[in-house]
Every structure is written in structure tokens, then in C-alpha cells.
Amino acid sequence: MDARDVRALPALYRLTSLASRPDDVRTALREVLEEFIATFNADAGSIALVNPRTGRLEVEVESGQPGGSSSVGLKPGHGVTGWSVLNARALLVPDVAADPRYIAVRSATQCEMAAPMRDGEQVIGVIDLESDRTGHFTAEDLGLLERLTLETTSIVQQLWRTQALQAKARQLETLLTTGQALVSKLESQELLDTLTRDTRRLLQGSACALYLHDAVRSTVRFGALDAPGAPGLPDGEQPATASFAAAALRTKRQVEFADVSSGDFRSIADLPKDATLHAALLTPLLFEGEVLGVLVVFTDSAHRFDNDEKRVCATLASLGAVALQNARLYTRVFQSEETLRKQEQLTTLGLLAAEIAHEIRNPLTVLKLLHGGLGLDFAENDPRRTDVRVIGEKLDQLESIVTRVLNFAKAPSSLHSRWALADIVADTLVLVRPKLAQAKIHVLYEPRSEALIVEANKGQLQQVLLNLLLNAMQAMPEGGAIAISLGGGPEGGAILDIADTGAGVPEAVRGRIFDSFFSGRPDGTGLGLAIAKRILQAHHGDIALVSTGPGGTTMRITLPLAKN
């Protein structure tokens, strides 16, 4: 073991111990520099790293240097440290006054040496030591500096990798949290605000905006903007081709702008009016090839988005697209439910009117028969003759009103048309699948290859199916499964079975589930199944309870097939 090895061992041991500590790179470099200064008895020193974006040397830590060191921002080749980086070689200057490469930064410096931090063929930085005594550093010192710098480079790279892994772990954790938050948002505006806020924080941007795209109208409008102290969102819509998001909409790919504060962007109406915004990364929200919107991250300084940042933004945009589509589907489901409730109310009113009219018609018929059989024939000048005539006219008028009400309550045959029953089932499932998924209910349905054509009012049959599916969902508050099977009946009709895995119908009420205004639930109206039965009977079909129990309930719909 030579003298250099003896001097190197304590320093190497202390340097190696830094690699296993959770310090950030700058803290580790500060301790490295202190170790170098102590080992070589130097009066000053610094560690500078090459900025990969600018190619300049930037001092990370220093000791004994005056403020505003000239090595900050030095180009490779300038000064002793710049020469070492440019040539990827260590350099010893015993007397700086005699070397033209030296750039005076510290007036007391007489001797200087520097060693490049090499990663293979690439130089990532430089370690520089200075002494106030001419010839203080020797060639042996320079060799030892090179050896310790090699170890330091390995330590810095390991710390960088550790920090990168930690950052990725934080990003992954944030992505998971954000993803869970996004999929739970059913309100579109709350979803948009969450997406922009979490994206800005995760990418450490100065602002984040979300543009919503209307493909039908080919327009773009602001959906959300997250930025500290940001102005309000611009009102109104912009043509997609004139929008700031136009490039991402057209290419369906990420687009990066280096400086949106330049004059080229001033005429764009939907660009946030903030002079501090510079770089921007635009990421489209794609769902099955359709651009739902564009997510834009802004920075307040010159910035080149790296691949990791682009991947994170693309992931967030994908999560946002799925969540936004889900929110829109939920909105459609709720609107369909509201429409169903209104239709149910109207149907109920029609059925009530028909029942009342039917009940009135019987005694009215009796009154007409009795009135006609009285044989009341008064003299022309007797006022009772007029009374009898008026009574007869009003009885006829009442009968006409009753007839019109009964005819109105009937479903017009003109609304009936030929439908494939499997298509009606599939279209109905589209409406309720998001809600069933939210309730953790799995739907099992395999359409038949053979088409079963029925002559029916599609809207009314969908109303029946929706009622049965929602009833099944309410019977399974903890989730479960619904099995739908479609087949031909023994007499050439169609049979549709809907089976759930709920708790079943209580035995005491099984015989009354189709009665009007009877419900087994406190919040029920008692009209859903009664209306369903009337609709199916009007279609010359029927509905029945096939089986029920702790393992579930099966309801069966039967319909005649359309005649060829």
C-alpha cells in the first residue's frame, strides 16, 4: 500500500458512508467538499455540475469563495475548472499567476487543481480546490484527487438514482390517489378542478388549464384553471382551429411550446392572460379515439419537459378522460332516470284516469238507460220538457268524455313497430351499466344469435326493463349479480328472464307485488310493477314472479313474436 492509499482510505471510507444516507445531493456534496478540503489542507474549493439544458457549469456548493463566484454559469473551457471539463482531464496549476487559463475569482489563490466528474465518456461536473500557497498541491495530490473524485461521482449518481426512485414513488402514490379521487367524482366541474389542481402540483407547474372540446360543434371552451392568484376563466367558446389547444386537438398528441409569452401567442383569445407564463405542455384527453379536451401545464420560466414529466401528464390525462366520460355517462343515466320517473308519473295519471273513467262509465250507462226508460214526454210549453232534454244532452256529454279518457289511456298502435328484443335489452343496459357498476353489480347477458322480433312500443318496454333492473339493484345493497337470459317460448313467443342474487321477496307480499299502490319498501310508490304488468298486457304479453328466496329472485317477461 503506497502513501496515496494510506491518505485515501479515511477519505474513501467517509465518502462511501454518504451513499447509504438519505441526504439530498446538495447536502451530500457539501460534506464531500469539506472532506476534500480537510484531506488536501486546501483554503477554498467548490463543486460545480454541468447543467444539461444550458451546458454551463453551475456551482452547487463552495467553501472559502467570495459571493457571486465567476464559475457560476461558466462555459466549458473557461478557467481551470472549465478547461478540466472540456478536456475531461484533471489539471494542476502550481502557480496561477503563470497560467493564462486561470480566471481570478479569489485574490488570495496561488495554487489550484481540478478534476472532472466523469460518467463514462460524459463529464457531469468538476471538483476544484485552491490554496493560498504557491506549489501547495503536488502531482501526487492530483492523482489522489482524481481517485476521490471518481468515488464522489459514483456517490452522486447513486444519490440521483435514489432521489429519482423516491420521486417516482411519490408520483406513483399521487397518481393512485388522484386516480381514485377522479373516478369517484360524479360532478363534472368538481372533476375538472381536481384534475387541474393535482396535475399542477404533481408537475410543479405555475398553472394548469383544461380545455373542453365539443367535437360536434368543433369548439373549445375553458373547463378549469388552477393557478395561484390566476385571473378568472375567459368566457365563451372559441373555434377549435383558433384555440390555444388547436395543435393538440389536430394531432391528438402531446405538444410543447417553449415560450407562450412571445408575440406569436398574443392574439390567441383563450390563452390565460398571465405574463409570467412561459413554457407549456399540452396533452389531449383521449377516449376511444375522441379528444374530450386538452390538459395544459404552464411553467413560469424557460423549461424543457422531460420524458418522465410527459408520461406523468399523459397518465393523468388518460385518467381524466376516463373519469370525464364516466361523469358524462352518469349524467345521462340520471337524466334517463328522471325521464323514467316523469313517464311513470304520466303513466300513473293515465291509469288512474282510466280507472276512474271506467268506474264512472258503469253507473253512467245505468243512468242513461233509466232516463231513457222513464218515458218523460211533457207538453211543449212545460219547462220540464227543456230540463229533460238538457239532462239527456249532459248524459251524452259525460259518456263522450269518459270514452275519450279511455281511448287516451290506450297506447296508440301507431307507436308500435318491429324491434329485435335483444336490441331493446342491450340499449337499456347501456343506460344502467354505469349505475350498476357503481353499486358493484355484475351483469351477465349473452344475446342470442337468433333474432326474436316483437311488435312493440320500445319506450314502454324499456320502462319495464329499467324498473326490473333498478328493483334488482335495490335488492342487492352490498352488490351482486344480475343474469339476463332471452329465449323462445313453448308457443312461439319470447321469454326474457331477469334473475338477481338479492335477499328475495318476503313471502307475505309475494301475491300482491303487481297490485297498484302496494309496495314492500317504505319509499316505494307501489306503481312500478303494476304499470309494468299493464304495459305488457297491452302488448298481449305478461310478467310473472318465477322464483324468489334467500338466493335471489327471477322475474319472467313473456311477449308474442311479431307476425311475418
So what's the pLDDT on residue 2?
46
Same domain, 403 and 486: no
Question: Tens digit of pLDDT for each residue in 49-103?
Answer: 888 767 788 888 898 877 544 444 677 778 899 999 999 999 999 999 999 989 8
Same domain, 321 and 379: no
Same domain, 224 and 147: no
Same domain, 409 and 317: no
Type of residue numbered 258 = A
Torsion of CA 21, 25, 29, 32, to 10 degrees: 20
So what's the pLDDT on residue 339?
65
So what's the pLDDT on residue 111?
95
In a domain, 472, yes or no: yes
For 451, other C-beta atoms within 10 Å of its C-beta total 12
Question: Tens digit of pLDDT for each residue in 236-259?
Answer: 788 888 888 899 999 999 999 988
Contact 199, 224 (CB under 8 A): no
So what's the pLDDT on residue 1?
42
Q: How far is CA 22 from CA 162, 260, 458, 537, in A?
A: 9, 38, 67, 76
In a domain, 449, yes or no: yes
Torsion of CA 345, 351, 357, 361, to 10 degrees: 180
Dist CA 196 CA 467 (whole Å): 38
Contact 264, 271 (CB under 8 A): no
Dist CA 320 CA 512 (whole Å): 47
In sequence order, what are the beta bridge partners of 283?
295
Same domain, 354 and 472: no
Same domain, 316 and 189: yes
Type of residue numbered 488 = G
So what's the pLDDT on residue 79?
87
Ordered alpha helix ranges (H), 293-420: 307-373, 383-409
Q: What is the pLDDT along the chain (564 residues), one digit of tens a residue?
A: 444 455 655 666 566 666 556 567 788 888 888 888 988 999 999 999 888 767 788 888 898 877 544 444 677 778 899 999 999 999 999 999 999 989 888 889 999 999 999 888 889 899 999 999 999 999 999 998 998 888 888 888 887 777 767 666 666 666 666 666 655 555 577 878 888 888 888 888 888 999 999 888 899 888 888 887 655 556 678 888 888 889 999 999 999 998 888 877 877 888 887 878 888 999 999 988 889 999 999 988 878 888 888 888 888 888 888 878 777 766 666 666 566 666 666 666 666 666 677 667 767 777 777 767 676 777 777 777 777 777 777 777 787 777 776 665 555 555 678 888 988 898 888 778 777 888 889 999 887 767 888 888 887 888 888 888 888 888 898 999 999 999 887 677 889 999 999 988 888 777 777 775 555 555 444 556 777 888 888 888 999 988 988 889 999 999 998 887
Contact 559, 536 (CB under 8 A): yes
Same domain, 396 and 303: no
By C-alpha distance, which of 72, 123, 81, 117 is closest to 99? 81
Indicate the average pLDDT of the chain.
Answer: 80
Q: Can you give the pTM of this predicted structure?
A: 0.45
Strands (DSSP E) contained in 215-339 are: 219-226, 238-239, 255-257, 280-287, 290-298
Same domain, 20 and 134: yes
Identify the CATH number of the domain in which residue 47 sits.
3.30.450.40
Q: Give me the number of domains the chain comprises.
A: 4
Q: At what angle do helices 188-203 and 307-373 cross, to 10 degrees?
A: 170
Which of 326, 356, 379 delimits the end of a domain?
Answer: 326
So what's the pLDDT on residue 139?
92
Contact 527, 512 (CB under 8 A): no
Rg (CA), the chain: 41
Q: Is 81 in a helix, a strand, or coil?
A: helix
In a domain, 173, yes or no: no
Dist CA 422 CA 434 (whole Å): 20
In a domain, 190, yes or no: yes
By C-alpha distance, which of 342, 345, 343, 352 is closest to 457? 343
Same domain, 525 and 548: yes
Q: Is 272 in a helix, a strand, or coil?
A: coil
Dist CA 141 CA 113 (whole Å): 9
In a domain, 22, yes or no: yes
Q: Is 278 in a helix, a strand, or coil?
A: coil
So what's the pLDDT on residue 344?
61
Q: Enter the C-alpha cell of residue 6.
A: 494510506
Torsion of CA 195, 199, 200, 201, to 10 degrees: 110
Q: Which domain holds residue 463?
A: 417-559
